[in-house]
């Protein structure tokens, strides 16, 4: 316990799924957590439950594609706790899962504004705040779909490939400034987002995975925790696969 004790942590997309799991684990490990999302009822409920358990957790509405929202969230964290130590760029959507030819421009724009622009803005405003605090870590949620190509889901794969390279580029920019930047690439994780893909799709994905199962959100959360903690003090620019061996094939 206490692996991120008193570290001020911002988690985007923290109202449900992987983000909720991250928030619960980081709070249990001593972090002061600011959860952000657009799912206000769910986000408020998670924060209230964690506060009732004695943790220092707040929830705020946030559109990660909005630079003004990012500036406000960073300012609030610094005003409330005096610092920002950790940022988990977790918010993301799957989108239409259509091919290159079938993807409407407005669908592409919406998805990339959240999955790619949201991470860019998190890096742009989060990294300087962490540097001001004396150093810390940013962990971006990537995906195996940022490494392997599949038919369909063109926009999603493009956005996750961008996240991987933004992670590496930012890691080089901030390596000498005390801010480590890494990413985690999960395979299939049983979250509400995955359930929306349908039972048959999830079964096929599981069968294609060497471990023959999907991950539980907590299994991804522990990878995020390691990279965000001081245990990973010499790790930057890395992409950690949490995929049951999928990309090792």
* Separation between Cα atoms, residue 197 and residue 150, nearest integer Å: 15
* Separation between Cα atoms, residue 11 and residue 23, nearest integer Å: 7
* Separation between Cα atoms, residue 93 and residue 70, nearest integer Å: 18
Closest CA to 147 of 217, 211, 243: 243
DSSP state of 37: E
Closest CA to 76 of 36, 123, 30: 36
Closest CA to 187 of 118, 128, 246, 235: 246
* Separation between Cα atoms, residue 136 and residue 243, nearest integer Å: 26
Triad 231, 234, 236: Cα angle to 5°: 105
* C-alpha dihedral sign at 18, 21, 26, 27: positive
Catalytic residue list = 156
């Amino acid at each position: 316990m206490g692996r991120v004790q008193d570290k001020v942590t911002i988690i985007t997309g923290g109202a449900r799924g992987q983000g909720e799991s991250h928030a619960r684990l980081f709070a249990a490990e001593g972090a002061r957590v600011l959860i952000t999302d657009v799912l206000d009822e769910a986000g408020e409920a998670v924060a209230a439950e964690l506060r009732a358990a004695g943790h220092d957790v707040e929830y705020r509405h946030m559109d990660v594609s909005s630079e003004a929202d990012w500036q406000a969230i960073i300012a609030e964290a610094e005003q409330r706790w005096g610092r920002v130590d950790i940022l988990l760029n977790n918010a993301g959507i799957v989108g239409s899962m259509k091919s290159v030819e079938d993807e409407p421009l407005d669908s592409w724009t919406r998805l990339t504004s959240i999955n790619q622009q949201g991470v860019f803005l998190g890096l742009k405003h989060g990294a300087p705040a962490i540097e001001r605090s004396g150093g810390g870590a940013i962990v971006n949620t990537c995906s195996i779909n940022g490494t392997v190509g599949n038919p369909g889901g063109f926009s999603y794969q493009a956005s996750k490939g961008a996240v991987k390279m933004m992670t590496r580029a930012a890691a080089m920019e901030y390596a000498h400034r005390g801010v480590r930047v890494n990413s985690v690439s999960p395979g299939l994780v049983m979250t509400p987002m995955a359930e929306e893909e349908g039972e048959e799709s999830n079964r096929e994905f599981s069968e294609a995975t060497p471990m023959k199962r999907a991950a539980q959100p907590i299994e991804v959360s522990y990878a995020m925790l390691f990279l965000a903690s001081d245990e990973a003090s010499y790790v930057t620019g890395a992409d950690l696969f949490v995929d049951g061996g999928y990309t090792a094939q």
